Amino acid sequence: MPLWLFAFFAIIAVVSALGVILQRHPVHCLLALALALLDIGALFIGLGAEALGFLQIIIYVGAIMVLFLFVIWLLNLQREGLATERIGLKVIGTLAAAALGAELCALLVHAGPAPAAPLPVDYGSLRSLARLLFANYLVAFEVTSALLLAAMVGAIGLARRIPGTNAVAAPPSDVADRLRSAAG
């Protein structure tokens, strides 16, 4: 990846990441985040990981961001007002983030890069990725499918609406009573 191309994508990434945390309308934050993720996918491709870059764009920008967007629409979130309270906490938060950044910079300044190893011919291709996934990491791959199924069932159960009411599913009353008596 030539330096000018990296600089182009890096500037877009930083500006859009700042957009995520500085804009007040959740949809604007989300669009900035989608741009940042798209940009990171482009950086993956620039690093030679073509298959992964396209997977990132399809899964993250195509699926996860749309899920966020649907939730924001579903909840009808509007622009937030300027939070004037708790300014002290914001100052502390900014300082803490700046301290973390300084710490990371101090670490990176002292770390010398490992010498670049020669790349295999099919580096970053779907073939090399799939060969690792279905050979060395097969168990993890299968566990991932179980994880996705569990997450799907869990998300449906969490967001389910009780028919006829506006509330989401609360535990059945006998369970709630037992919980309460156990807590008391």
Partner 1 sequence: MTPLNYFVVLSAVLFVIGVAGVLLRRNVIVMFMSIELMLNAVNLAFVAFGRQLGNAEGQVIVFFAITVAAAEAAVGLGIIIAVFRNRMTLNADELKLLRW
Q: Which of residues 80-139 bind partner 1 (CB under 8 A)?
A: 80, 83, 86, 90, 93-94, 96-98, 100-101, 104-105, 108, 113-114, 116-120, 123-124, 128-129, 132-133, 136-137
Question: Which amino acid belongs to residue 127?
Answer: R
Nearest Cα residue to 51 out of 120, 126, 131: 126
Total residue count of the chain as it appears in this document: 184
Phi and psi dihedrals of 181, rounded to 5? -70, -35
Nearest Cα residue to 37 out of 5, 3, 4, 12: 12
Least distance to partner 1 from the beta carbon of 177, Å? 13
Least distance to partner 1 from the beta carbon of 116, Å? 6
The dihedral region occupied by 164, where left means phi > 0, alpha psi between -120 and 50, and beta the remainder, is left
The residue among 148 and 178 lying less far from partner 1, judged by its C-beta, is: 148
When asked if residue 2 is in the footprint of partner 1 (CB under 8 A), the reply is yes
9-38 residues in contact with partner 1 (CB under 8 A) are: 10, 13-14, 17-18, 20-21, 26, 29-30, 33, 36-37
Least distance to partner 1 from the beta carbon of 112, Å? 9
3-state secondary structure of 15: helix
Q: Identify the residue among 3, 82, 139, 182 touching partner 1 (CB under 8 A).
A: 3
Q: Is the dihedral of CA 104, 37, 25, 78 positive or negative?
A: negative
141-170 residues in contact with partner 1 (CB under 8 A) are: 144, 147-148, 150-152, 154-159, 161, 166-168, 170
Least distance to partner 1 from the beta carbon of 181, Å? 15
DSSP 63: I
CA atoms within 13 A on the CB side of 20: 13
Question: How many residues interact with partner 1 (rule CB under 8 A)?
Answer: 86
The residue among 86 and 178 lying less far from partner 1, judged by its C-beta, is: 86
Least distance to partner 1 from the beta carbon of 178, Å? 14
Nearest Cα residue to 29 out of 37, 38, 18: 18
Least distance to partner 1 from the beta carbon of 184, Å? 13
